[in-house]
Amino acid sequence: MDSVFEPDLMQRWEMTVDRLIVHAERWHSTREVVGRLADGSIGRSNWATVARRARQVSVGLSAHGITRGTRIGTLAMNSIRHVETWYGVMGYGAVCHTLNPRLFDDQLIYMINHADDRWIFADPIFRAQLERLLPHCPGVEKVIYLGDSSEVPALPANAIDYETWIAEADPSLAAWGQFPERTPAALCYTSGTTGNPKGVQYSHRSQILHTLVSGQRDFLGLSARDTLLSVVPMFHVNAWGLPFIAAAAGSKLVLPGARLDGASVYELLESEGVTFTAAVPTVWQLLFDFLSENNLRLSTLKRVAIGGSACTEALIRGFRDGHGVEVLHAWGMTEMSPIGTISGPLPVSLGEPDEATRMAYNLKQGRVPFGVDLKITAENGDRQPHDGTAPGHIMVSGPSIIQSYFRDDKPAVDAEGYFDTGDIGTVDPQGYLQITDRSKDLIKSGGEWISSVEIENIASGHPKALMAAVVAMPHPKWRERPLLVVKLRPGQTATAQEFLDYLKGKIANWWIPDEVRFVDEMPLGATGKLDKKVLRAKFAAPVI
Ligand code: AMP
């Protein structure tokens, strides 16, 4: 929309993501970018070198006739070469489609074909997997393996190793930017819990605004003094935007490669002096198991962002009391680029004299930054009050939030322009959002909603529990009742009654699950989240 009064007298500075890496190259050139290599050793680079090699990627793509707007897939863990690739692809105006290697073959085949990915950059460790997929993906013309020639011997004619490939490219020939900011930059597919996965295509503008929004002090608030370990993978909503935010802030960036076990993450945190990190709760559970088995402490870490699924009290206490680390509990989703809210304190929450009340604030998913607006609505679409008790559908709007899915003409927003996140929650008078469920995971007992997330959070605080999940079971009278599924800590045994007794007094009596089952393994989806579909299928028989 152009102003009807006067022309805009400020510069047309199109917000394209190449500006982020150019900024880091010019103003933080020697700040390190570090990554674990396939053999476990640590590779060291810096923002200037990453930018130079990203330019070589762009030149290589244009030399081979890749045009702007073409989708380029990546099937890779977080590494220096992967970061170079995504800046090289996006800077050039092609679209970087980060594929999640943990998905099933048929899901990946669907995504590659639906996106019409023309080239794929893949880690050598995923070679066998990719070679299984390619016969079903006729649109893919070329594969670049993110390694050197020794790592991927005997390649077919349409594949080459990254180092040999970029060696030919002259970085000075790269033409970055020079296209409108609403040009597509990146593509991610949602976890696809029902039906086919859906594509979310981010524009350059939406990515830059997400970077600025999430960089605010009460959000991720990264600085040039921070060392950032991006445990969250680039294939999970672009690592929550962290490689963009690190370039904007000039932070040192650390990339864990394929090793996400407790020992390897601990080693990186300590040896690189990491001050900030981010991942889903399951990663931190693995780290804590390793720390307690080996009686170790975290000496440099100051803040950790935890999101993707609800953060438990045990994790917040473990980080805070055991290691002096502040937990930022974050909520968001692929459709939001992904950050929606973070549990930063307010004077009123900090000033609460009662520790339990302060913890209750910390456990909530948090408040919106400037750049995200949110409403909660009842079934009929009316806005619910912000009283901390009335639950509703969480609807969001903002410049980094989806308008329509990729290759789908229908708008994904309501008449007011708000997107329905599929999450259910409350907002309290201080503006703190609390997720009580996914709408499809809601338990409706006798017409009233029971929050599976809240019961899980309390049950997972039981000293014998490693993980807890609550799912709805059919019931003849109440229609649905909660069933608690528990994975115990190694070596522990427990009875159902112990867990039911533990919950009593902490939740309303009618929320107490009707039954408790113990499992050896919790089913986890491709982004490390609990897969309730599997649990529902497994325990499908009525409990009563
Ligand atoms: P994804 O698009 O794969 O990142 O999944 C997004 C979904 O994960 C959200 O819609 C929520 O249901 C869930 N989620 C993300 N963060 C949280 C959180 N902090 N607490 C509870 N659920 C979360």
pLDDT of residue 3: 61
pLDDT of residue 543: 43
Where do we find the tokens 């600085």? 223
Where do we find the tokens 């799912």? 471
Whether pLDDT at 263 is above 90: yes
Whether pLDDT at 197 is above 70: yes
Residue 302's alpha-carbon distances to 38, 249, 425, in angstroms, are 28, 17, 29
pLDDT of residue 448: 78
What whole-number distance in Å separates Cα of residue 514 and Cα of residue 536?
15
By alpha-carbon position, which residue is closest to atom 1 of ligand 1?
A: 333
pLDDT, average across residues 273-287: 93
pLDDT band at 544 (very low <50, low <70, confident <90, very high): very low
What whole-number distance in Å separates Cα of residue 373 and Cα of residue 425?
15
Residue 277, SS3?
strand
**Annotated domain spans of the chain:** 18-29+44-203, 443-538
Sequential DSSP letters for 149-196 = TTTS-S--TTEEEHHHHHHT--GGG-----S-TTSEEEEEE---SSSS
> Which residue among 315, 327, 331, 376 has the greatest number of ligand 1 atoms within 8 angstroms of its CB, and so is best to mutate?
331
Is-catalytic flag, 498?
no
Where do we find the tokens 């522990």? 492
Residue pair 161/145 in contact by the 8 Å Cβ criterion = yes
Whether pLDDT at 508 is above 90: no
Residue pair 471/482 in contact by the 8 Å Cβ criterion = yes
pLDDT tens-digit map of 173-186: 999 999 999 999 99
Architecture of the domain defined by 443-538 = 2-Layer Sandwich (3.30)
What whole-number distance in Å separates Cα of residue 353 and Cα of residue 358?
8
Q: Using the mean position of ligand 1's atoms as its centre, give its distance from the Cα of residue 306 in Å.
A: 11
pLDDT of residue 146: 98
Mean pLDDT for all residues in the chain: 94
What whole-number distance in Å separates Cα of residue 176 and Cα of residue 526?
33
CA atoms within 13 A on the CB side of 252: 18
**Is the pTM here over 0.75, yes or no?**
yes
Is-catalytic flag, 85?
no
Taking CB atoms and a 6 Å cutoff, what residues make up the pocket around ligand 1?
190-191, 237, 307-311, 329-331, 333-334, 338, 365, 421-423, 435, 438, 527
CB atoms within 10 A of CB 195: 6
Q: Which atom of ligand 1 is nearest to the CA of 438?
A: 12
For residue 16, count CB atoms less than 10 angstroms from its CB and return exposed for 0-12, middle for 13-18, buried for 19 or more: buried
- Domain 18-29+44-203 falls in which CATH fold? Rossmann fold (3.40.50)
Whether pLDDT at 14 is above 70: yes
Q: Are the folds of 18-29+44-203 and 443-538 the same?
A: no
What whole-number distance in Å separates Cα of residue 274 and Cα of residue 302?
8
Residue pair 94/71 in contact by the 8 Å Cβ criterion = yes
pLDDT, average across residues 119-132: 98
By alpha-carbon position, which residue is closest to atom 7 of ligand 1?
A: 333
Of the residues 25, 181, 335, 456, only one is catalytic, namely 335
pLDDT band at 193 (very low <50, low <70, confident <90, very high): low
What whole-number distance in Å separates Cα of residue 54 and Cα of residue 82?
10
pLDDT band at 541 (very low <50, low <70, confident <90, very high): low
pLDDT of residue 6: 84
pLDDT of residue 540: 64
CB atoms within 10 A of CB 137: 18
Where do we find the tokens 């993980």? 467
CB atoms within 10 A of CB 49: 17
DSSP state for residue 126 in the 8-state scheme: G
Of the residues 98, 183, 190, 426, only one is catalytic, namely 190
Residue pair 448/478 in contact by the 8 Å Cβ criterion = no
For residue 70, count CB atoms less than 10 angstroms from its CB and return exposed for 0-12, middle for 13-18, buried for 19 or more: middle
Exposure pattern of 138-155 as b/e (b: 16+ CB <10 Å)? eebebbbbbbeeebbeee
pLDDT tens-digit map of 404-434: 999 998 999 999 999 999 999 999 999 999 9
pLDDT of residue 440: 77
Q: Which atom of ligand 1 is nearest to the CA of 527?
A: 3
% of the chain residues with pLDDT over 70: 97
pLDDT of residue 466: 92
Whether pLDDT at 194 is above 60: no
What whole-number distance in Å separates Cα of residue 54 and Cα of residue 8?
33
pLDDT tens-digit map of 201-258: 999 999 999 999 999 999 999 999 999 999 999 999 999 999 999 999 999 999 999 9
Q: Strands 465-475 and 448-450, how do they pair? A: unpaired
